């Protein structure tokens, strides 16, 4: 009897998101998936442990190893929440494995994004700074709002809060929100973004400026607010995540969707039918 389930490898299996994804997969949050492999770095505290037990979901029969090449070629989809170095470094070989690739890793630089784009010429890749339904709907709404408010004197500020251990700042989600606004305004985010403010600011605030403010502390899973402010009123769009499971389920939905798709670079809007 054959097992027709989609074989999934989790890269970054020892991290918070990796464990949440493995737990949700094993609990059947998205039907039709099988844990085929679990991989992390050599210094992962859970190395050689059963991935299911490490995630708190019960024994899975799959150990966390350091060898992606041993499990990647036989997978239908690799879910990657490793690191920007790991994601970029693995792009070339994943491109040769004929497997789908779901990337939730944030902090990729231009070179890393180029490596992912190159891999997408050979395999299907879903690249998304956030995999929740709510945030991806917010991306769509913000682009529409920015297009409607363009040239009407609304200043844009983006505030995000995450737990004290988060390494990158601003968050990938905050940047994604900024990119949605920039598309609606018809501007280049890299040219108009301002990250935090300190001291005396010379001159008035440019109309197209998009401000980012990052808060790090406690155990915030992820709070994001985008403010459009003008004289006499402000309009705010907010999303608050209270559990990593919402991102985990989104990643699993992306894995189920990307398996067997034609090569190309996709987003969660494609997965969720919001494109």
- Which positions are catalytic? 162, 166
| Cα angle value 85/252/214 (rounded, 5°) | 50
Class of residue 218 by CB neighbours under 10 A (exposed 0-12, middle 13-18, buried 19+): exposed
Strands (E), 169-255: 193-195, 210-216, 222-230, 233-241
List CB contacts of 37: < 8 A, sequence separation 6 or more. 9, 10, 62, 65, 68, 70, 71, 72, 74, 75
Buried-exposed string 243-260: b where 16+ CB fall within 10 A, e elsewhere: ebbbbbbbbbbbbbbbbe
Beta strands in 18-105, from DSSP E residues, in sequence order = 33-39, 64-65, 77-80, 100-103
The 8 Å CB, 24+ separation contacts for 89-93 are: 90/11, 91/115, 91/116, 91/118, 91/119, 92/118, 92/119, 93/69
Residue with tokens 């605030």, as numbered in its chain: 205
- The neighbouring-strand residues paired with 237 are 226
């Amino acid at each position: 009897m054959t097992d027709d389930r989609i074989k999934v490898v989790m890269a970054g299996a020892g991290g918070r998101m990796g464990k949440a994804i493995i737990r949700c997969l094993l609990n059947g949050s998205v039907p039709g998936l099988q844990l085929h492999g679990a991989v992390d770095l050599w210094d992962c505290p859970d190395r050689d442990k059963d991935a299911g037990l490490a995630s708190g979901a019960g024994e899975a029969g799959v150990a966390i190893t350091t060898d992606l090449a041993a499990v990647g070629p036989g997978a239908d989809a690799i879910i990657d929440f490793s690191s920007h170095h790991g994601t970029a470094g693995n792009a070339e070989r994943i491109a040769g494995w004929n497997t789908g690739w779901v990337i939730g890793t944030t902090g990729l630089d231009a070179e890393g994004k180029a490596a992912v784009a190159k891999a997408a010429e050979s395999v299907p890749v879903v690249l998304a700074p956030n995999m929740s339904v709510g945030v991806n709907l917010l991306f769509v709404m913000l682009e529409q709002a920015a297009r409607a408010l363009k040239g009407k004197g609304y200043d844009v500020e983006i505030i995000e809060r995450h737990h004290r251990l988060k390494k990158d700042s601003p968050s990938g989600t905050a940047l994604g929100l900024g990119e949605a606004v920039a598309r609606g305004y018809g501007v280049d985010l890299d040219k108009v973004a301002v990250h935090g403010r300190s001291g005396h600011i010379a001159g008035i605030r440019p109309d197209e400026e998009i401000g980012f403010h990052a808060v790090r502390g406690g155990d915030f899973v992820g709070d994001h607010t985008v403010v459009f402010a003008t004289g006499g009123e402000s309009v705010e769009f907010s999303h608050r995540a209270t559990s990593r499971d919402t991102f985990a389920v989104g990643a699993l939905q992306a894995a189920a969707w990307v398996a067997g798709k034609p090569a190309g670079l996709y987003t969660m809007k494609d997965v969720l039918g919001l494109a």
